[in-house]
Amino acid sequence: MRIFVQSSRLLPILILVLATITAIFAADEPHANDTFASVSDAVWQLTNLTLIPDTALHRSTSLGGQNFTHCCLLAVNASLTLSPDGRLIKSQTDYIDATIEEFLEANNADQFPCTAEWNGDPRGAPRVIVTSGWQEQTCPGWSLSDSKKGDESEWVNPFIGFIIPCIIFVLVIPRRRKLAVWSRLFVQDLSQIISWIVAPFAMILSGLAVCLDTIIWLCVCFAFAGPMILSGFYEAYLDQKVISFLNEKTSNFRLTIDMRARLLFVVLVGNLDLDPEVFAGDEELTVLNHGRHADDNPRWPNYPGTQTRNPSSPWTHIQNLVSPLRSYRDCALGTPRQWPLHDVTCTVPSCTKLRCKEIPLQRNHFVRSEIGRTKTRLRTMLATQLSFGSSVGAPVVFFLGAFSYTLVTTLGSLGDEDTSLDLAFGTWFMVIPHISVVAGLLLAGNNPNTLEGVMALEFGEVEEKETFKKKHFLGSIFELAYESRYRPKWLWERGRSKQDWIDRVISTYRFRAPSGRRGDMVVDEDMEALRVATTMTITSWTIVLGMTTLLMGVPFILAFLVSFYTPQVGIACRSLTFLVYAIIQTSQIVLWMWAYSGPPQPGKWFKFFRKDGYLYRSGFYNPTDVKSLWQKGKFWSLKSLWAIIWYNLAAIFGLGGVITSIGGTMMQLMGVYSTPKCSVNAEYWTKPHSQVPVVLSKNYALEIADAKKYWVPSAITAILFLALVTFCGWWYQRRLRGMFRNLVSELGSERTDREDIRAIVTPSRDGDEESIKP
């Protein structure tokens, strides 16, 4: 009780002391009616102000030696003077958009225009508005981002926030080639002293080579993001169509076991070169294991066919691999028939007798073993691929964590222009995670050595490196990403490659015997159904292009919106960079569609543009074919013209993509975009703009309002969108993998055999041989 009474007596004394201290500090703060000996007495920030900033003493302003905080101080200093009685007043050259009372009040509240920071007051700091001509004359050049000046937010935050996380993403994006690292840099013999002396230098050089390779691949991914995402969605769409086709036909008992296995292999290896160069010694890989079925029968013979097979093609090797699973004999070498043949010794015209219909091959112990091995191969090839969670999910979490930190920083510093631009460029860099997500959707493995390991089970040793390394003038600089006889396509070519694999299946098995009766070859209904299912229609392209536009458009729109509404409001250097990049990516997508979408199907209308029309015959729909450029007498053909046009446009747009993406990012990080030219909108660049107003102050009302209205919502949208895209990609890929595994597990099951085979062949009691129903 005594303590409470004593405390109550001391309370008025404490209040009186605090009031006295507050009054003393308030008395020290400058006010409009106070008199001063100089302007710097009223505004201490102007003390010892010089015309040239300290940074310009060590570096030319044209090389980044400018300091625009110092430029703002010059504008404030030019706007203030003293009256004859010593009071602070405005000079004739007035750049401060506030009265003297408002200016001093803001300064007393730590809202000096040139150095103001967010303090919770939406009114912010007074604006300092100069003309563009004054800025270009007084503060030419640009300001190099320098941690010594406290500019860490201009380059450290973006570098850690989105550039480094993006490096993780590009490492899992599949590619065909990489920068070669000299093998001699990896010293193997460390038994000598000289090896230990050389080893550290070799480590440094090899590390620099790997870093350079990663930077180059980052540039390529950013520059060709549109075609990469489009081709990835194209392949994912075809995967879905093939697996849905297999589900339908399996449930309807329409496909043989070798055709189902063949299509499943196509899903897994459709990203490899279909017709590579023939390598010496690969001819032995075309040898088929005839006789294992004991299938020689003069009534229904095997036909060698006249088609030349590429012994180095993975298609040939897949055909060899599934050949032991065949239900009928070959209609050509390595091409098992899918339907029974009529007895060739029968002389009855249009015979339909059941006894003349070809009997399926016996599914003996060897065949059942091959079915088991095929199922193991398919499951293993799928399982050896990186999971979506480890290759994409974990990096996305890392990226979103860094991006969320930038968002939290924005909430704590509303009105900070540097933070808003960090958000804009971070949102723009979301394109890289989107490429990684799309690449993670695909069932075809990135590493072709998986297939090579499977082939080794059947065909023996793998060739030495020198036998499969293609010799060309860039081969010593950019080597194959994987040391394998098989070569994966670039990501922007994978969709078309998968379509070519499917078309090879269709063309190989398009015609068949008329189901056991004598007669001419007819179109296989199942192959026709596969063709219809995998033919890209207007609706199909709308879906694929729509998904591509969504993943490319959302980062662009959000980045453009943030940069557009970062004062100076309008299209300036940064927003123009995003706009040019979007135009370049759209142009690349158009080029991709020209080269890889193929011609419209034959029809009655617009025959000039359709398949077998004039454009098709002139090579318009295959502009990437450059053979005519090297053939005598064909250089001056239309086919050569299309190739020249296409590759020149691809080079222009590719170089433009690198300049706008990587070049624009570097100019932002370095501070080049702080030049006075970027302080005015692009519409004034070609016009006299000396009187265009430019705001030099920080944390003013418009910036704070735009931060609340555009910056923060855009950042939240970017985080949620990337999380949603990643989740949908994970769910879709898990679903497709599950469907694939179910199809693999059904291989060899009697209940999924085709009706004509299941009706004739049934397992015998001993389980080693099969008997034929009478």
Query: Cα angle at 688 between 682 and 690, to 5 degrees?
Result: 95
pLDDT of residue 628 exceeding 80, the answer is no
pLDDT of residue 272: 94
Bigger pLDDT: 772 vs 216: 216
Q: What is the mean pLDDT of residues 85-92?
A: 86
> Can you tell me the distance from the alpha carbon of 17 to that of 542, in angstroms, rounded to the nearest whole number?
75
The answer to whether residues 509 and 474 touch, using CB atoms and an 8 Å cutoff, is: no
Q: Model confidence at 529, in pLDDT bands (50, 70, 90)?
A: very high
Q: What is the mean pLDDT of residues 346-352?
A: 81
> Can you tell me the distance from the alpha carbon of 608 to that of 590, in angstroms, rounded to the nearest whole number?
20
- Helix/strand/coil percentages in the chain, nearest 5: 60, 5, 35
pLDDT of residue 459: 44
pLDDT of residue 242: 96
pLDDT of residue 122 exceeding 60, the answer is yes
Highest mean pLDDT among 31-35, 219-223, 386-390, 464-468: 219-223
Highest mean pLDDT among 233-242, 360-369, 381-390: 233-242
* Residue range 680-722, pLDDT digits in tens: 888 888 888 788 899 988 888 888 888 888 888 888 899 899 9
pLDDT of residue 217 exceeding 50, the answer is yes
The answer to whether residues 399 and 105 touch, using CB atoms and an 8 Å cutoff, is: no
How many Cβ atoms sit within 10 Å of the Cβ of residue 175? 18
Q: How far is CA 495 from CA 72, 429, 501, 728, in A?
A: 54, 24, 10, 20
Q: Over pLDDT 70: what percentage of the chain?
A: 86
* Residue range 385-423, pLDDT digits in tens: 888 888 888 888 888 887 777 777 766 777 677 778 888
DSSP string, 204-220: HHHHHHHHHHHHHHHHH
Q: Which residues are within 8 A (CB) of 708 and not within 5 positions of it... i.e. 6 or more apart?
A: 414
Highest mean pLDDT among 133-142, 476-485, 644-653: 644-653
Beta bridge partners of 701: none
One-letter amino acid of 581 = Y
One-letter amino acid of 486 = Y
pLDDT of residue 462 exceeding 50, the answer is no
pLDDT of residue 52 exceeding 70, the answer is yes
Q: In terms of residues, how long is the chain?
A: 774
Average pLDDT, the chain: 82
The answer to whether residues 715 and 563 touch, using CB atoms and an 8 Å cutoff, is: no
User: What is the three-class DSSP state of 572?
Assistant: coil
Secondary structure (H, E, C), 507-541 = HHCCEECCCCCCCCCEECHHHHHHHHHHCCCHHHH
pLDDT of residue 17 exceeding 90, the answer is no
Q: What is the mean pLDDT of residues 428-452?
A: 91
pLDDT of residue 461 exceeding 50, the answer is no
pLDDT of residue 292: 47
Q: What is the mean pLDDT of residues 643-656?
A: 93
Q: Model confidence at 732, in pLDDT bands (50, 70, 90)?
A: very high
Bigger pLDDT: 126 vs 292: 126
> Can you tell me the distance from the alpha carbon of 285 to that of 317, in angstroms, rounded to the nearest whole number?
7
pLDDT of residue 32: 64
* Residue range 316-346, pLDDT digits in tens: 889 988 988 888 888 887 788 888 888 888 8
The answer to whether residues 703 and 415 touch, using CB atoms and an 8 Å cutoff, is: yes
Only one residue has tokens 């230990």, namely: 196
Q: Model confidence at 548, in pLDDT bands (50, 70, 90)?
A: very high
The answer to whether residues 95 and 78 touch, using CB atoms and an 8 Å cutoff, is: yes
pLDDT of residue 604: 58
Q: What is the CA radius of gyration of the chain?
A: 36
Highest mean pLDDT among 6-10, 601-605, 644-648: 644-648
DSSP 662: I
End-to-end CA distance of the chain: 112
Beta bridge partners of 512: 522
Q: Which residues are within 8 A (CB) of 554 and not within 5 positions of it... i.e. 6 or more apart?
A: 430, 717, 718, 721
Q: How far is CA 397 from CA 389, 425, 433, 719, 728, in A?
A: 10, 18, 11, 10, 15
Q: How far is CA 743 from CA 131, 260, 622, in A?
A: 70, 8, 35
pTM above 0.85, yes or no: yes
pLDDT of residue 469 exceeding 60, the answer is no
> Can you tell me the distance from the alpha carbon of 708 to that of 627, in angstroms, rounded to the nearest whole number?
58
> Can you tell me the distance from the alpha carbon of 754 to that of 260, in angstroms, rounded to the nearest whole number?
11
Q: What is the mean pLDDT of residues 748-762?
A: 74
Half-sphere exposure in the Cβ direction for 618 (13 Å, CA):
14
> Can you tell me the distance from the alpha carbon of 537 to that of 549, in angstroms, rounded to the nearest whole number?
18
Q: Model confidence at 460, in pLDDT bands (50, 70, 90)?
A: very low
Q: What is the mean pLDDT of residues 120-141?
A: 88
Bigger pLDDT: 501 vs 600: 501
Strands (E), 100-142: 127-131
pLDDT of residue 192: 76
Query: Cα angle at 636 between 635 and 640, to 5 degrees?
Result: 60
> Can you tell me the distance from the alpha carbon of 603 to that of 586, in angstroms, rounded to the nearest whole number?
29
Query: Cα angle at 435 between 429 and 438, to 5 degrees?
Result: 145
Query: Cα angle at 612 between 608 and 613, to 5 degrees?
Result: 15
**Does an H or E element contain 762, and which?**
strand 761-763
pLDDT of residue 552: 95
pLDDT of residue 379 exceeding 90, the answer is yes
One-letter amino acid of 453 = G
Secondary structure (H, E, C), 456-516 = HHHHCCCCCHHHHCCCCCCCCCEEECCCCCCCECCHHHHHHHHHHHHHHHHHHCCEECCCC
Torsion angle (degrees, nearest 10) of CA 251, 255, 257, 263: -100
Q: Model confidence at 605, in pLDDT bands (50, 70, 90)?
A: low
Q: Model confidence at 458, in pLDDT bands (50, 70, 90)?
A: very low
Within 29-94, residue ranges assigned H as helices are 39-42, 54-58, 68-79
How many Cβ atoms sit within 10 Å of the Cβ of residue 198? 15
User: What is the three-class DSSP state of 89?
Assistant: strand
pLDDT of residue 152: 60
Q: Model confidence at 600, in pLDDT bands (50, 70, 90)?
A: confident
The phi, psi pair for 522, rounded to 5°, reads -125, 165
> Can you tell me the distance from the alpha carbon of 146 to that of 143, in angstroms, rounded to the nearest whole number?
9
> Can you tell me the distance from the alpha carbon of 719 to that of 675, in angstroms, rounded to the nearest whole number?
31
Least reliable range by pLDDT among 47-51, 299-303, 305-309, 539-543: 305-309
* Residue range 279-288, pLDDT digits in tens: 776 776 555 5
pLDDT of residue 575: 92
DSSP 659: I
User: What is the three-class DSSP state of 131?
Assistant: strand
One-letter amino acid of 150 = G
Least reliable range by pLDDT among 97-106, 249-258, 417-426, 582-591: 417-426
Q: Model confidence at 463, in pLDDT bands (50, 70, 90)?
A: very low
